[in-house]
Homo-oligomer: A and B are copies of this chain.
Amino acid sequence: MKTLDAQTQREIRRGVVDIIPEQEFWNAFTEGRRLRLKLGLDPSKPDLHIGHGVLLRKLRLLQELGHQVVLIVGDWTAQIGDPSGQSIMRPMLTAEEVAANARTYMEQFFHIVDRGQTEVRWQSEWFNSFSLADVVRLAGRFTVAQMLQREDFRQRYEAQKPLGVHELLYPLLQAYDSVVIESDVEFGGTDQLFNLLVGRELQEQVGQRPQVCITMRLLVGIDGQQKMSKSLGNTIDFEDPPFEKYGKVMSIPDAVVADYLDLATVIPDEEVSYFRRQVERGGGEAMEVKKRLAREIVTQFHGIEAAEEAGTQWVQVFSAGAAPDQAPSYAVPQTKEGPLVIDLPEALVETGLAVSKAEARRLIRQGGIEVDGRKVSPEEAGHLLVAPEAVLRVGRHRFLRIVRATEGNPPVK
């Protein structure tokens, strides 16, 4: 066990909101204890996004200091599902889906965290044999009032929105996980604080040393408004290809750039402060900082070369108007000279850029398709005139090149 220098301590503290209780946590290092660091994995959300990065890097750092990560696969909850909705009486995910999703998650997780120092445990190990007596005893350790202190529970209860009785059980089950694995520290977003503290209290009740609860700042999504979350569609995923990562970063509002530098990179604090001031000046300086951020993020996942390439491509597309090299092309079998005539909805469907003509038309109506920097109107979409080799921009990040069908370039149909 290594002791902590001030620099390491600062690194551990980065992105952290609360450590409860803080002194107990730092004491553990002084005492030379090997800590068991609990993290829950929700198999219904297999994809990691860069908002998770700060925590994963922290776990890696703590592993390097000799501590043990315990990853709990929430397979039990994922299979039972939420009985309050449509899914009643059938599993939310099958056992196969859970296993596949957990595999996907772990592939991404171990991109940062050291697999060798990680113990992977499945909730089903203990919950498959949990009896009604076990549930009643567990539930008897907490009062309804305690559970309704959880903010979202209380709000729903007070607003007379449905709050299922089973939902009160979930924090208790999660707390029970802490007891089973004898967790020393549990991590979660600030929205998880209540659940983490229930775990701490349960451990105390059964005579275990109670876990320290560490909450992490939540990264805001690329919309700059809400927390980054798959269900809000505002994530930058580990699995996004380099150019998509780069483009998404470039699209975030200036106001959140410093947050991203802080939470999604390992750029030292001093530099982050400097960049923060740069961004506040706005304009070209903000843009340069954003490029630096985008490059940092892409580099983490794909290396410096991919990052440079994505940056070059981005400048081409968004500054010079050129479409990225990978854009699919749509070949029009037209022998007549001059502009090509295309049925745009059909072209979008055939190239997979829209799933149906209805969706294509909606995209057009919303002004989502540009050609030569101007929006395509619904009126012209059915017989759009474009120059050969023209590039359409579809939404923010996708492109379609229109070409004339030749022998080496047969029409898509």
State whether B160 touches A144 (Cβ < 8 A).
Answer: no
- For residue A110, CB closer than 8 A to chain B, the reply is no
- For residue A165, CB closer than 8 A to chain B, the reply is yes
Which of chain B's residues have a CB closer than 8 A to the CB of A132?
A: 76, 80, 127-128, 130-131, 134-135, 173
State whether A164 touches B137 (Cβ < 8 A).
Answer: no
State whether A144 touches B165 (Cβ < 8 A).
Answer: yes
With A133-B80, A145-B160, A157-B145 in contact, is A140–B165 under 8 Å at CB? Answer: yes
**Residues of A contacting B: mostly:** helix
- For residue A136, CB closer than 8 A to chain B, the reply is yes
- For residue A82, CB closer than 8 A to chain B, the reply is yes
- For residue A61, CB closer than 8 A to chain B, the reply is no
Copy count, this protein chain: 2
Which of chain B's residues have a CB closer than 8 A to the CB of A145?
A: 157, 160, 162-163
State whether B164 touches A83 (Cβ < 8 A).
Answer: no
CA distance A163 to B148 in the complex (A): 12
A78-123 interface with B by 8 A CB criterion: 80, 82-84, 88-89
CA distance A138 to B83 in the complex (A): 8
Which of chain B's residues have a CB closer than 8 A to the CB of A136?
A: 80, 83, 166, 169
Could you jot down 12 A-B contacts, CB within 8 Å? A80-B136, A88-B140, A131-B131, A135-B169, A136-B169, A139-B166, A140-B165, A141-B164, A142-B165, A144-B148, A144-B165, A168-B168
Given contacts A76-B132, A145-B160, 12 further A-B contacts (CB under 8 A): A127-B132, A128-B131, A131-B131, A136-B169, A137-B166, A138-B166, A139-B168, A140-B165, A140-B167, A144-B144, A145-B157, A168-B168
